Amino acid sequence: MKRLCELKLFMQLGMKSNKKGFSIVEMVIASSIIVLAAVAFLPVFSFVAQAGRQNKERLTASTLASSVIEEIRAMDYDDVGTEGGNPSGSVPQQEKRTIDGVEYIINTSIDWMSAKGKDGRTNDIAYKRVRVTVKAPSAFSGSVQKLDEIHSIVSREGEEPIYEAGGIRVIIRNAKNEPYMGQTFTIDIKNKSGTPANSYYGPTIDGEKYFGIIPQGKYVVKVEVPEGINAIHDEIIEDGWVVRDDVVVVNWQTTEVIVYMDREENLCDLYLNMVDNISEDIIREGGQLTLTWSMDERSAIVLGGKVFTVDDLDDATKEDGELHYASLIPDFFGKLWPLGRYSIKIENVPLYRTFDMNAGGVIKTDDGEDWGGAFNGIGQKLYSSAYIKPQYLFYSNEEIKLEKNYPDPLIISDIYGKMPNEDISAANAFDNDDETSWDIIRGDPKEEKEESVCIEINEVKQIGKIRIKLAADYKFHFTFYGSNEYGKFNDKIFTQENIETKDGVYEVELEPDKLPAPYKYYKIEIKLTQENHINEVSIVQIDLFDETAYGYINPRVELYGPIDLSRYSPAPRLIINWESSTPGGTEYDVYTAITNSEDEEPTLWSKANKGQDVPGITEGMDYTGKYLWIKEELNTKKEKETPIRSKLYIEIME
């Protein structure tokens, strides 16, 4: 028996010694799995905890709301109202209570409700509606949210008496012309006499608020504009409130105050460009625009003669990817309403008549339909074009006169290079040799380079023209000085910056009213600046011409055309006119002609009379396939006199 026990013990010990335990690696892996599983469940545990806390807060909010309702039910009917509200009473419109570290916001609104009496008439103060909402920070997000809301009705036993007073019903409507739901607006009403007892405030419910038993008189009604909300055009906004002054309350009557407000995304955008109604070309000019709005008996000037320039015209991309060229965009107009009607007037567009929708001006939408000034619905983006009548069939305000014929350039008797910044190599610009040049080189692009040369002519002369020949087309600054005493160049005759040459030549003819006094010494200054992005200017030749030695080249003929008359058929009345000066011995004449082809230059011309009908064009006639040509002739019998034309135009008469 003993050996048997020993054997069993030996076997047990042997078996135990052969068993393998957990290695350290296995224990680490097992621990990691347990930790990962625990971590995976942490959000669940957190959510469960937050949900529990949220449910507790909802229960507390419900209890608070119910307690307020019970307090109100315990009041006498006449005492049921809010502090500063209408109906008025002792119930706070808002109060805060902290329970278990959570701050609860209790909002109470008490409003009059209407009902029909036994006589069939509507009583706007038939009973009172009570609404209590409780808000608190969310256990999940921390943001304040509504946790509970209770509605109740309080009524008097029997019918509410009719008081010798009136009422104000404030109605907030949206861009669909519907009651503004889902947004609370604060209303503030004050008697204009300043009596505190006749002042009320309170929030809207479902887009309106009724203030009853208000003494007869005048009141100021204010509606707070919430952030992100726009009021309609004719409202007066003061410090974030819509203000209606002089609201009259009459006994036994209810005065309605309707205010329109909505969010920007529900308002409309207008894109408008201008089109020539004859050529249908896009007009890229500035002007002034007046935008008016009207709805029923309400109206407002939205934009009163707002100035716009070419820089305000943008090529707007439409939703289909097409471009709406040269358009005034919504930033110019501001947000517009889908209620009411707009009218547009455009003035002072160069060469065009005033456009006015109220006077028959046509605006077309991008689908070719006439736009009457009303949007189709909320959030509409409208791309449109105002078709503007041109005032002129032809217009030129370039000054035209006979060209001067200068004799040979003045002879330069001496060139000086002794003054600061003067470069004696500038003599190459006066040697009548195209193989040599005055090279002005700027070594450092970050610095300005300036060089000058002083010259002396044989005798005192008045310079009328300067011509500079360059080896290439470069930009530079040019300044011209004169003096009768060498070294004292204080008289600046002419200066021009960022000169762009034409075919390697820079030529300036000094205006008669800007001609310098006669000088013997002249200084020419050339400057390269950082703005030019050019490091070298090579001047081949500089010539100066005596103003007193010129003579006019006679005659001068200018030809304009062909102008296609097809688009003007049947022809309107066309008046040709011009502005010119013709000193004695000079002549300025205008001729017109009509051809059957744009490639056919006229051989027969008719002389036009200033301020008269264009020769050969009769109002109402069809000129399809016809072309108008205009010719100017300038002549002089005096060497020093020239006719000057400052403006030539053909006006389209209405």
Q: What is the pLDDT of residues 448-500, one digit of tens each?
A: 778 888 888 888 888 888 888 887 666 788 898 988 888 788 888 888 888 77
CB 124 within 8 A of CB 112: yes
Pick among 3.40.50.2300, 2.60.40.10, 3.40.50.620, 2.40.110.10: CATH of 77-232+243-261: 2.60.40.10
CB 162 within 8 A of CB 145: no
CB 495 within 8 A of CB 478: yes
**Which position has the higher pLDDT, 318 or 5?**
318
Class of domain 407-549: mainly beta
Closest CA to 71 of 89, 98, 91: 91
Contacts 24+ apart (CB under 8 A), 594-603: 594/565, 594/623, 594/626, 594/627, 594/628, 594/629, 595/562, 595/626, 595/627, 595/629, 596/625, 596/626, 596/627, 597/627, 598/562, 598/564, 598/627, 600/627, 601/629, 602/629, 602/631
Cα angle: 386, vertex 276, 569; to 5 degrees: 125
Homologous superfamily of the 267-390 domain (CATH): Carboxypeptidase-like, regulatory domain (2.60.40.1120)
Largest CA distance in the chain: 162
Q: How does pLDDT run across 633-650, given as a tens digit for each residue?
A: 999 999 889 999 999 999
Residue 383: the pLDDT is 98
Q: How far is CA 519 from CA 375, 459, 484, in A?
A: 70, 8, 5
For residue 185, give both structure tokens: 């607006």
Q: How confident is the model at residue 625 (pLDDT cuts 50, 70, 90)?
A: very high
As a dihedral over the C-alpha atoms of residue 229, residue 234, residue 240, residue 242, rounded to 10 degrees, the angle is -100
Residue 168: the pLDDT is 94
CB 164 within 8 A of CB 80: no
Residue 443: the pLDDT is 72
For 320-331, the three-class secondary structure string (H helix, E strand, C coil) is: CCCEEEEEECHH
Domain ranges (residues) in the chain: 77-232+243-261, 267-390, 407-549, 556-652
Q: How many residues does the chain have?
A: 654
Count Cα neighbours of 378 within 13 Å in the Cβ-side half-sphere. Answer: 11
Residue 375: the pLDDT is 97
pLDDT of 418 strictly over 60 = no
- Residue 292, SS3? strand
pLDDT of 109 strictly over 50 = yes
Query: In the predicted model, what is the mean pLDDT of residues 408-416?
Result: 84
Query: In the predicted model, what is the mean pLDDT of residues 511-522?
Result: 77
Separation CA 290–CA 345 (nearest Å):
5
For residue 444, give both structure tokens: 């450092």
pLDDT of 4 strictly over 60 = no
- Using a pLDDT cut of 90, give the percent of the chain over it: 51
Q: How does pLDDT run across 171-206, given as a tens digit for each residue?
A: 999 999 999 998 999 999 999 876 666 788 899 989
Residue 238: the pLDDT is 95
Count Cα neighbours of 552 within 13 Å in the Cβ-side half-sphere. Answer: 20
For residue 130, give both structure tokens: 């009570």
Considering the entire predicted model, what is its pTM? 0.72
- 120-129, 419-428, 577-586: the lowest-pLDDT one: 419-428
pLDDT of 232 strictly over 90 = yes
Residue 425: the pLDDT is 80
Do 77-232+243-261 and 267-390 have matching folds?
Answer: yes
Q: How does pLDDT run across 150-175, given as a tens digit for each residue?
A: 988 888 877 667 788 899 999 999 99
Q: How confident is the model at residue 631 (pLDDT cuts 50, 70, 90)?
A: very high
Sheet holding 381-388, edge to edge: 269-276, 381-388, 362-365
Q: How far is CA 476 from CA 86, 191, 279, 388, 479, in A?
A: 78, 72, 41, 42, 10
CB 564 within 8 A of CB 278: no
Pick among 2.60.120, 1.10.150, 2.20.25, 2.60.40: CATH of 556-652: 2.60.120
Separation CA 222–CA 635 (nearest Å):
75
For residue 214, give both structure tokens: 């208000």
For residue 108, give both structure tokens: 């109470």
pLDDT of 372 strictly over 90 = yes
CB 129 within 8 A of CB 202: no
Q: How confident is the model at residue 367 (pLDDT cuts 50, 70, 90)?
A: very high
- Residue 367: which residues within 8 A CB-CB, separation 6 or more? none
